[in-house]
A and B are shown apart, each in its own frame.
Chain A
């Protein structure tokens, strides 16, 4: 992290007991709704955060630009903006650009410049690169974050967007006026940083392309995971453990083509003693994934909600060291760190359950075909 993005001393000189809150809602029918329920849900868990980070991811929010990549960027200086825009013009067609609308909020201060660009890869550059469009975009995002001082791309998906800041999440929602966006799914995070500074880029969700992750916990295996994923061209630039989860999911799901369920068996692989108890076919699959992607096992406590195009996935560490509750009501599915955060927006769910450790709950839109959540329709047996 460079020195120019923050004018006040960074928090992080002390450690607190861990907190954090996450919540997520999806309407399987694809019906779009504002972030209001996500804001209400997270506000009930106010005490799990400490005002040093909050953020949202909304999916289906840019239907009028759904074929373009929406880049959300923090700038800490006008030089950073100039340098970044020069880079963008060299690599993309800029279809539309504007400041992201915000509303002054007394609790949200030290605001960087926050810009949004709808872009599409320059055809000549893209074909010259011999990459597919996603890979091209991902590499550009990583390059900006690594090389342009004071510029941070914090959202780079299609028909989705991340909105985050330093502050309590309910205030962040008001700051970005999220009542004015409608999506078919929302995730939200309230941060209580324990090991790294609270700064704008370090707030959740962490996003690359259309993947976004909100996370409660801390990753003991962070450095092992980081060293491994950086071999594949990713750069961990945001000073917090969660970003490595996003990159590992991008790698496993988009690039390796694993299903999300298989991804969950890599990230939260069961103990060998548990694998031994499984039926032969399952045992083989679990063993294969755990051996092949050994360096991508996440140890330490975590509960995450992954947002992706057309769905949400909730996942706990295999020991379930962080809480996670799920509920369902008439086509809507809810996830949250606490039951109260679900009941405040849906008092009478049809079903409420506590997902087991390491057992992913994957919810997709009804309109999605079976298996459409695969990166490339490649199953483990084909690897």
Chain B
């Protein structure tokens, strides 16, 4: 394990230093919002203490990033492969245009989480959020999977307004007892059945191990499955505001 202290280092210098290190286990101490940490990383494991800056793990391509704290905006922007684990919360735009790999967030995520997430053949991105997500979760989602576990929400919908606006592919699982009010017409919702729970059980395996959550307890609750409604395709949000 190699250690590097970020402090007030410029993001460019920090990222260059990380890339040039031979060790594949690197701890970054005292991060102060440096951007693009782990950009396009393929094979290393970064551990970050402090506050990781915007676009953490953007274009990530196989590496692993663990943050002991919060992420800021656009965590995992356009990531292609690999894993980002956040022992805390994230800001807005988490998993922006994500096309592979997985992002595990212990607590909450801000607005537009999973926006423009997409999938193709073996590239199946996965975003799991422990507590709740802000408005516009899965906006324009075209593929992949988003799970919001609604921990500490007492069964209330763990999302804000306009969940799934413009959704035209992929799947969202929400652990709650009631549906978010006024889901857009292009989203169809149904109760999770046994076969869904089996899928969820596989998807939640690693997440629950990392954060020591009781998977069986979570799975015993009610989940909704949200998918694109092919009968009412996405039109326009902004024409009748």
List the interface of chain A (C-beta within 8 A of B). 43-45, 47, 271-274, 277, 319-320, 323, 325, 338-341, 343-344, 352, 354, 356-357
Contacts and interface: CB of A to CB of B under 8 A. Distances in A.
Interface residues of B, number: 28
B53 A338 contact: yes
A338 B73 CA distance: 8
Nearest to B91: A323
A340 B72 contact: yes
Contact of A338 (B33, B89, B111, B136): B33
B72 A354 contact: no
Contacts of A273: 182, 241
Query: Lowest 8 A-B CB distances belong to which pairs?
Result: A340-B33, A340-B51, A320-B111, A340-B32, A354-B110, A343-B51, A323-B73, A271-B241
A272 B240 CA distance: 9
> Mostly helix, strand, loop or mixed at chain B's interface?
loop
B7 to A, nearest CB: 10
Nearest to A325: B91
Interface in B185-199: none
B70 interface: yes
- B51, B134, B136: most-surrounded residue (chain A CB, <10 A): B51
A291 to B, nearest CB: 14
Contacts of A272: 240-241
B91 A339 contact: yes
Contacts of B73: 323, 338
B51 A339 contact: yes
Contact of B33 (A45, A271, A319, A357): A45
B161 A354 contact: no
A172 B53 CA distance: 24
20 contacts: A43-B8, A44-B33, A271-B241, A277-B181, A319-B135, A320-B92, A323-B73, A323-B91, A338-B51, A338-B54, A339-B33, A340-B33, A340-B50, A340-B72, A354-B89, A354-B108, A354-B110, A356-B135, A356-B160, A357-B135
B35 interface: yes
Contact of A341 (B31, B33, B136, B161): B33
A319 B134 CA distance: 10
